[in-house]
Amino acid sequence: MARMGDDIGAAADCLSRGMLVGIPTETVYGLAANALDERAVAGIFEAKQRPHFDPLIVHIADATEADRYAASFPVAARQLAAAFWPGPLTLILPKKPLIPDLVTSGHPTVGLRVPAHPLTRDLLRSLSFPLAAPSANPFGYVSPTTAQHVNDQLGDAVCYILDGGPCDVGVESTIVGFENDRPVIYRLGGIPVEQIAAVVGEVKEQIRAGSNPVAPGQTDAHYSPRCRLLLDQWPAELMADGKTALIRFSEAWPGFPEKDQLILSENADLTEAAARLFGYLRLLDEQGYLVAYAESVPDYGIGRAINDRLKRASALFH
Ligand code: TXA
Ligand code: MG
C-alpha cells in the first residue's frame, strides 16, 4: 500500500530522492522517476519487470522544454507539438547526451511528451528535472486508468501515488517518429491519425507489434487481462454460466444476462468507449470471468486505438 493523494509537494519530495511515484495523465497513469537519474530509472524497469530493450517516454512541463532534451526538431514535429501539446502525443526525436541511455534503451532518440493532466503539469513545473514514465502496470498487463489500479499492482514499489481521478482519454499516447524528417506513426493512441494528417498531411503508419523494434512480435501480447479474451469470434452458442462475459460497443447482446455484459458506450461514443476500455479489461479479472467475447468498435478516429488494444489483449488467446 502506498500513500495516495493530491499532494504535489509529497510527490516532488519522493522524486527528488530518487524514488518512484504514480502520476496521473490524461491517457493512463504513469510510473515516474527522475529521467536524468539513472539509478531512479533502473527502479522503473525493476518494479515493472520491464525488459531493458523497451524505451521510456520522457514527460516535460511545456513544449519550450523540448529543446533541452531533443537535439533537433523536424518542421513536422514542431507543427505537431504546437497542435497537440499538452496532449496524448509522443514525439520520437534525436536525443541530447543529457538523457541517459537507459531511458532510451540505447537508441539515439528520445520519446518526449507534454501530458495534459493539471496535477502532473503542476508537478513537472515544480521539478528541476523531467520525468521518465511508462504506464504504471506490470509489463504485459493492462494499463492503469485510476490511482487505485496503480496501488493494486505496484503499491509496494512506489513512494507516493498522485491521485488525479480517472483518466479522461483512457488509451496511451499516439507515438510519432520521423524518417528523413517525414512523420511515421508507430503507435495508435489518443490523438487519431486523421487529426495528425490534418496538420502534416498524409502520414505513413508503421504500427509496431511489440515494443521491441529488433524483435518484432515478441511482445505482441500486451495489455492482456488474465481472462481469456476472444475478439470478433462469436461462438455458435453463448454459455450463460456467470463465468463468461461480453464486451460490447453500444448494445447488449439479446438473450444473454445483462450483468455479464460490459457496454463500452451506450451512446456509441468512441471517446467514452476509450475511457472505459482498460477499466473493463481489469474488471474481467476482478470479477473472476474465465472467458470474454469482445467485438471490435468502428475503425476510425480513436476507435482504431481501441481496436488495436483489443487485438493485443486477445493476442495470447488465438
Ligand atoms: O500515454 C502514454 O504514452 C503513457 C503515459 C504514462 O504517458 N505512457 C506509456 O508508456 O504508454 P509505455 O512505456 O507504456 O510505452 C512507451 C512506448 C515504448 O514501449 C516504446 O514503444 C515507445 O514508447 N518509445 C519510447 N521511447 C522510444 C524511442 N526512443 N524510440 C522508439 N520508441 C520509443
Ligand atoms: Mg505500457
Return the pLDDT at 214. 44
Return the pLDDT at 217. 39
Average pLDDT along the chain: 95
Q: What pTM does this model have?
A: 0.96
Q: Which residue's entry shows cell 510510473?
A: 31
- Percent of the chain with pLDDT strictly greater than 90: 91
CA distance 58 to 190: 17
Q: How far is the CA of 238 from the centre of ligand 2 (A)?
A: 32
204-205 and 89-94 beta bridge pairing: unpaired
Contact criterion met (CB below 8 Å) for 261 and 245: yes
User: Is 103 touching ligand 1 by the criterion CB < 6 Å?
Assistant: no
Closest by CA position to 120, among listed 12, 254, 252, 255:
12
The pLDDT tens digits of the residues spanning 219-274 come to 455 789 999 999 999 888 898 999 999 999 999 999 899 999 999 999 999 999 99
The pLDDT tens digits of the residues spanning 79-91 come to 999 999 999 999 9
The pLDDT tens digits of the residues spanning 175-224 come to 999 999 999 999 999 999 999 999 999 999 999 865 544 444 344 557 89
- Answer with the residue of higher pLDDT: 288 or 317: 288
User: Is 168 touching ligand 1 by the criterion CB < 6 Å?
Assistant: no
**For ligand 1, what atom is nearest to the CA of residue 29?**
6
- Answer with the residue of higher pLDDT: 317 or 145: 145
> Cβ of 46: how many Cβ atoms within 10 Å?
11
Return the pLDDT at 162. 98
Residue whose CB lies within 8 A of the most ligand 1 atoms, among 153, 172, 224, for a mutation test: 172
Average pLDDT over residues 37-57: 97
Q: How far is the CA of 138 from the centre of ligand 2 (A)?
A: 9
**For ligand 1, what atom is nearest to the CA of residue 31?**
6
Query: H/E element holding 4?
Result: strand 4-5
Contact criterion met (CB below 8 Å) for 20 and 162: no
Contact criterion met (CB below 8 Å) for 129 and 34: yes
* 258-to-58, 118, 279 alpha-carbon distances in Å: 42, 37, 18
Average pLDDT over residues 69-73: 97
